[in-house]
Chains A and B, each alone.
Chain A
Amino acid sequence: MKDTPLSTSGPSFAKVIKPCGAHRDRALTRQARQLGFAGVSLKASDIFFLRGETDTANLRFIVPRLLDDAQGEAARLEVGTTTVPAGRLVIEVARRAGVTDRVAAQLAESAARSGCRIEAATGSRFEMTGAGELPEKDLRFLVHNLLCNPVIETWSFGEVQPGFTSAPAEESSTVEIVPLCGLPPEGLARINNERALALDPEEMEAVAQWFTAEGRDPTDAELETIAQTWSDHCSHKTFAARIETDQGEVVPLLRQLRETTRAMKAPFVISAFDGNAGIVAFADGVRLAIKAETHNHPSAIEPFGGANTGVGGVIRDVLAAPARPVALTDILCFGPRELDHHNLPDGVLHPAVIEEGVVEGVADYGNKMGVPTVAGAVLYDTGYTANPLVFCGCVGEVLRGYDKLSGPQPGDRVLVVGGATGRDGIRGATFSSMTMDATTGEVAGASVQIGDPIIERLVADLLVELLDRPDPLVRALTDCGAGGLSSAVGELGETTGVSVDLIAVDRKYAGLQPWEVWLSEAQERMVLAVPPAQAAAVLERARHLGLSACDIGEFTGNRRLLVRHGAKQVVDLPMEFLHKGRPVRRLRAVLPSPDRRPDTRHRKADIPKTLLALLAHPNIASKEAIIHRYDHEVLGATVIRPMAGSAQSGPSDGTVIAPPQRPSGFALGIGVNARYGLYDPEHMAHAVVDEAMRNITASGADPAQTALLDNFSWGDPRRPETLGDLVATVRGCCAAAQLYGAPFVSGKDSLNNEYVASDGTRRSIPPTLVITALAHVPEADRSIGTALRGAGHVLVLTGRTTREFGGSHFNLVTDDESGTVPAPDASAPARYRRIHTLVREGLVESAHDVSEGGLAVTLAEMAIGGRLGIEATLDDPDECSALFSESLGRLVLEVRAENIPRILESLGAEAKVIGKVVKSYHLHLGARTWTGTDLEHAWRGSTS
């Protein structure tokens, strides 16, 4: 600490500045340059604002003890005006009051433990050089993309005012009555709009009618509760809608998926499309819960916080199963990284900035929770520039108390445990059901939550303690997700009725309106139904762990949702109306008519260049720069990890997780290909189910014991063409599930992923379906990777190659639009089962599927993973199809020469020996040769 004289005058708080260090300055400067600001250099410091008992003696004690770093740059105390060195621009940023701030909270707590009572707030300071010539508009762009997110922070040139959250505020109990009865449709539309309810006109009408019949107007909280409960996010109203097409009405989409699963009667499905997660039990008797969610809108406006709480949210879904989380997945879709920032739509963050924030957000939550992030995908397309997609998935091991969860009984207590409630993330469910525009970032500020993974870690520990026993202390539980307490309490009490008092809810700070407490999406909270006799014990255990825990009311028996704030009634609604009163949505769809005529065009290409271009395409190129930021090893159960080979240099297909104490485990495979969806949504569904199945088969999992998850991210379903694509995709999903004998057990839809530019033009994302396969791995010791294992081994291609280029990456790198999307392969399921048998017999050394870029990319990736060479022949006159077609149902197997007869005997005409593994690191295909170094350089780019 520098010896700065302290004066008692000046600002009412002390300020400690601590340089972040060279690693941070380098990263920021590099990012600024990536955004096109070549001459700019940045230097960053953390700011800690302190007030309260901040006399000199206390500060001289606190700063070295809690803030200064040995061996690092010293923190210094600053009082009065910031001095700005000549030629530098100083920008200070402060976190807004009320936004979750673990550092500030820890600082205050640790200071108190040391005997100093202080309040703390945090911020950052950036010193910028080389920005002298920048126009104000560019400077603002740089600040909003790199230094500060106005959604959660304030900033200024020079000194910023800190946002102390504990500022005393008046406790408020205002309950507003919203006049609704007797309003004409325009009046209802105005209220719908002003309050951002995101309800359909027919739904507003139904609400008004109901209250008219009751003879009263709704309270603010009642209206918000209905809007949250009826949102697409919570009630899947598009998936439950009646849809009219030219070919007549279709069965509601969710029912199609459910009935497909039911008809398959798979013995391993324990629970499908019910509760927070799907549950399966494979042959080893271990029950697994699985769920995947999207957090797209929040990630668009606050990438770190949005992705961070996306992971936190899906983990809570699995905790609520109830299960112990053991693996995470993430599928990310961004705009192109190199986009010129002058071409960005208004109010949209740069794709590179979104990607950096999202990846850091995913990494931060999973790493701190101690759950390995093991599988995923990253796609780039201009269609995702304004609407990035963040799919987060979680698998958990179901706790022993699952069988005893009877549901709430009248008289049970309603407990809220985890984090305290603040003004964060209000209206998330309705926000996610809206279209975004240039002002979304400003008005939706309160819709973004900031997570605190350490709290969730402790919530997980608490739930394991309460529920991983034959006599659980809890009768029912759910997480606080979208809609906060309004959804969670409303859902849990649906069959009984429930009565709660908002005064009893633990708050982060005073000043919240009752409806805000009720709607807040403050993170890391669970709602538990606990028998009265156990309530005290549960609260005590939660508080022992340092968690917030409160008893807010009881389950009744009157089937009403009753919410009060002390003596004041806030909500009084019958469950029947809340959960069944929404008029069924009626929508019209125009089904797509894809071109499926046989492709007669013989393609020619510069083959050596095309393969390198494919390997370097961002969708195919190595994702190691992202993967290595995720802890994929914690829990010690990772067997097949996301990077393959002893140098972790190649891509994996499926990943395998098996606790070291058990012989068996599970595999995760991911299928996603939005480009196919642009041309043929139904065949896209087949293709991505096939990809997920290929992935798990390639890692040694059993394709006959596999469950699927569907996650749809789509545009506005009220546009008939967009909905038609969705209808065709669901049809494809159901057909594929039947074909592969792999039932869907859970799913989620995120619709309205659209952006309205200031000139009124709408941009929708490409139709994006993510399929996750969760498969049984009977013998984890037999699982295999994609990297080549040994020279002399033989390579076998299984499956049939035809000319299929529609939506292919060959088309993408050769700027072609022709061809058809790969067609379903009815022979694939039986073949995958035979391959699984061969893997179990120990006859396959490695396996890699053929996907984006075709066979040439597959072979190159196997070589890169094993740092070994391949010599293969092609006897197909249509070289482009042989190398780059994306026909489904294909895998390349690496086999010892002596096992070839057995392999060919099992796979018959579906298998063909195409070459062998050699020691020299190169790829030799027909008459062409690439060095391993060239392949690796193309695929790994600057990271190699």
Chain B
Amino acid sequence: MKPPAIVLTAPGTNRQNDAAFALEQAGAAPVCVDLLDLPGRRGEIERAKLIVIAGGFSYGDALGSGRVFALEAERLLGDLLAEKVAQGTPILGVCNGFQMLVRSGLLPGALQHNERGHFECRWVALQPSSQLCVWTKGLDEPVRCPVAHGEGRYVAGTAVIEQLRFEDRVAFRYAADDYPDNPNGSVESIAGVCDSTGLVLGMMPHPENHVTERQSRAMVTTQKRGHALPLFRNGVLAASAS
């Protein structure tokens, strides 16, 4: 049976259909649930085997990216996301979803304005680097996909970075340190981090926008396309196991 997946959205989320398509391709059965649909549809989240928090501009990012999303999720869901993690449910936050997870305290660090001061959309190469993270475990090829954000510069105190490295929680790094490979000036080129269980992954780039051959056909001339579908397959695998 296909594991039931939730794509969690808030008003202003805009990549929910992209995320749902990627989950379908990876073998999950996704439905979108918006914070506006709560508490009515809380049960669906409780029953979900996998959760993706999709990208976009929740609440217009009016008080800083992901902040109101996190506050409203806390108001409407309480500790449900933390409880899901405790039950072994993998959670992926992409872009605005990552920002929301950081604001919620489920992931460490912060996402500041890009170093260049404006929104940036371009394809990047990502080096998967964590064997703890259920989403990146076993990925050895670099993943290629676009970034599309204005506030994606990952920062954290040196002690936190040290701990992330020590605990194998840096899930993705941009291929190189300099702009434009590292498109936002993230510390240590960090593109994604996971929590201490390895179940919760937050990342700025959009793996959901590279799950078919066609999406990269004009960009890639070699066989190593860097598909992101294996990332979603990993998530579905972990969901089935939970």
Contacts and interface: CB of A to CB of B under 8 A. Distances in A.
B120 A628 contact: yes
Contacts of B220: 646
Interface stretch (B44-52, B108-116, B164-172, B193-201): B108-116
Interface in B41-74: 56-57, 59-60, 62-64, 67-68, 71-72
Contacts of B123: 648
A23 B155 contact: no
A454 B12 contact: yes
Nearest to A868: B221
Contact of A660 (B56, B72, B109, B211): B211
B75 A72 contact: no
* Interface range for A: 35 or more
A638 to B, nearest CB: 7
A632 B146 CA distance: 9
A412 to B, nearest CB: 28
Contacts of A457: 11-12, 14
Interface in A4-43: 21, 23-24, 26-27
B17 A360 contact: no
B163 interface: no
B118 interface: yes
B14 A633 contact: no
A55 to B, nearest CB: 21
A633 B119 CA distance: 13
Nearest to A645: B219
A789 B219 CA distance: 10
B56 to A, nearest CB: 6
Given A635-B18, A661-B21, A103 B63 contact: yes
Interface in B159-216: 180, 206, 208-209, 211-215
Interface in A448-464: 452-454, 457-458
B18 A106 contact: no
Q: Could you say which of A628, A643, A781, A783 has the most chain B C-beta atoms within 10 Å of its C-beta?
A: A628
Nearest to B58: A454
A633 B206 contact: yes
Contacts of B209: 633-634, 636
A66 B63 contact: yes
B237 interface: no
Nearest to A632: B121
Nearest to B123: A648
A107 interface: yes
Given A66-B67, A629-B118, A790-B221, A21 B215 contact: no
B196 to A, nearest CB: 19
B57 A635 contact: no
Given A453-B60, A544-B36, A633 B109 contact: no
B227 interface: no
A635 B211 CA distance: 12
Nearest to A101: B62
Given A72-B110, A72-B112, A368 B12 contact: yes
Contacts of A105: 62
Contacts of B110: 69-72
Q: Could you say which of A633, A783, A790 has the most chain B C-beta atoms within 10 Å of its C-beta?
A: A633
Interface string A333-375: 0000000000000000000000000001001000111100000
Contacts of A784: 218
Contacts of A633: 121, 146, 148, 206, 209
Contacts of A638: 215
B212 A102 contact: no
Nearest to B24: A661
Contact of A21 (B60, B72, B112, B206): B112
Given A66-B67, A370-B14, A113 B75 contact: yes
Contacts of B206: 633
B119 A367 contact: yes
B113 A23 contact: yes
B57 A454 contact: yes
B63 A110 contact: yes
Interface in B79-131: 109-110, 112-123
A413 interface: no
B122 A648 contact: yes
B205 to A, nearest CB: 10
Contact of A69 (B57, B64, B156, B212): B64
Contacts of A453: 57, 60
Q: Could you say which of B57, B146, B180, B219 has the most chain A C-beta atoms within 10 Å of its C-beta?
A: B219
B67 A454 contact: no
B146 to A, nearest CB: 4
Contacts of B211: 636, 660
A861 to B, nearest CB: 15
Contact of A452 (B60, B75, B121, B217): B60
A299 to B, nearest CB: 18
A71 B109 contact: yes
A785 B214 contact: no
B233 interface: no
Contacts of A544: 36
B6 to A, nearest CB: 18
B18 A639 contact: no
Given A110-B68, A639-B218, A631 B62 contact: no
A546 B64 contact: no
A628 B217 CA distance: 19
A631 B206 CA distance: 12
A634 B18 contact: yes
A640 interface: yes
B71 A113 contact: yes
A591 interface: no
Given A72-B110, A544-B36, A785 B218 contact: yes
B89 to A, nearest CB: 25
A638 B221 CA distance: 17
Contacts of B118: 27, 360, 363, 629
A327 to B, nearest CB: 14
B115 A23 contact: yes
Contacts of B64: 69
Interface of A: 21, 23-24, 26-27, 65-67, 69-72, 102-103, 105-107, 110, 113-114, 360, 363, 367-370, 452-454, 457-458, 544-546, 628-636, 638-641, 643-646, 648, 658, 660-661, 780-781, 783-785, 787, 789-790
9 contacts: A27-B117, A454-B12, A629-B119, A630-B121, A632-B121, A633-B121, A633-B146, A633-B206, A644-B218
Given A21-B112, A457-B12, A790-B221, 4 more contacts: A368-B60, A454-B57, A545-B11, A660-B214
Interface of B: 11-12, 14-15, 17-18, 21, 36, 56-57, 59-60, 62-64, 67-68, 71-72, 75, 109-110, 112-123, 146, 148, 150, 155-157, 180, 206, 208-209, 211-215, 217-221
10 interchain residue pairs of minimum CB distance = A370-B14, A106-B62, A71-B110, A27-B117, A23-B117, A785-B218, A633-B146, A454-B60, A631-B148, A454-B12
